[in-house]
Amino acid sequence: MKSVEHLLTLALLMTLGACASAPEIAKKPVEVVQQVVTTAVAAVTPAEAPVNPQAQAAFDAARAHLRAGRTADAERGFRDVIARHPELGGAHANLGLILRHAGKHDESIAALEQAVKVSPKQPVFHNQLGVSLRHKGHFQKARNAYEQAIALDENYADAHLNLGVLLDLYMGDSAMALTHYERYLALSPAGDAAVGKWVADLRNRKPASVAQADVKVSKKE
């Protein structure tokens, strides 16, 4: 269940807390930002390559630090995995999440860009890249990242929600945002009351062209 405050509880690092969301607008849906990548994920060329057992063990140790809230140890662990096995997208992705939580958005973007470079078929990496790009105000690039995540997995609910938030609150495209909100709700069997209320409000909003016309009329009056 995802509330308005929206602390995502997938198989993720609870200790990193909720990453920064969209601007503080009452009763808004909040983008899905937290996901621990649970496997190392070797580069796809063209099929998934097997992960070295030692590399997976080092990755798992870093992930254990992350889950326990030892983010400094986790960061060192993932950096060590990357130094030895730069082909592992999961290590780059988790490093990107740690850096984003620390407010190091440029470094987070760089890490997540590397994740999608070495593992381009992993939609979660593109989704997380979109979140970091959004934090830096790179809205079109964020949109591209979310759309790529959806292209890889059209049933990726979180990416639909994130794209809806971006289009609605940052890019002024409420009609397209509504499409993605509705798709997100359709893909959420347990429902999401907060997003459902936001969608109902969005449906009742006047189109921008009508609102602008009303302003012009009121000025004339």
Is residue 92, in this structure, part of any structural domain at all?
A: yes
Question: 44 CB contacts (<8 Å, ≥6 apart)?
Answer: 119, 120, 121
Is residue 165, in this structure, part of any structural domain at all?
A: no
Is residue 60, in this structure, part of any structural domain at all?
A: yes
Q: What is the mean pLDDT of residues 152-180?
A: 95
For the chain, give the percent of residues with pLDDT over 70.
70
Range of the domain at 50: 14-155
Terminal Cα-to-Cα distance of the chain (whole angstroms): 48
Q: What is the mean pLDDT of residues 190-204?
A: 89
Q: What is the mean pLDDT of residues 207-216?
A: 41
Is residue 217, in this structure, part of any structural domain at all?
A: no
Domains in the chain: how many in total? Answer: 1
Is residue 84, in this structure, part of any structural domain at all?
A: yes
39 or 199, which is more confident: 199
Asked whether the predicted pLDDT for residue 127 surpasses 50, the reply is yes
What is the domain-level CATH number for residue 54?
1.25.40.10
pLDDT at 31: 55
CB 95 within 8 A of CB 82: yes
pLDDT at 52: 82
- CA-nearest of 221, 156, 174 to 25 is 174
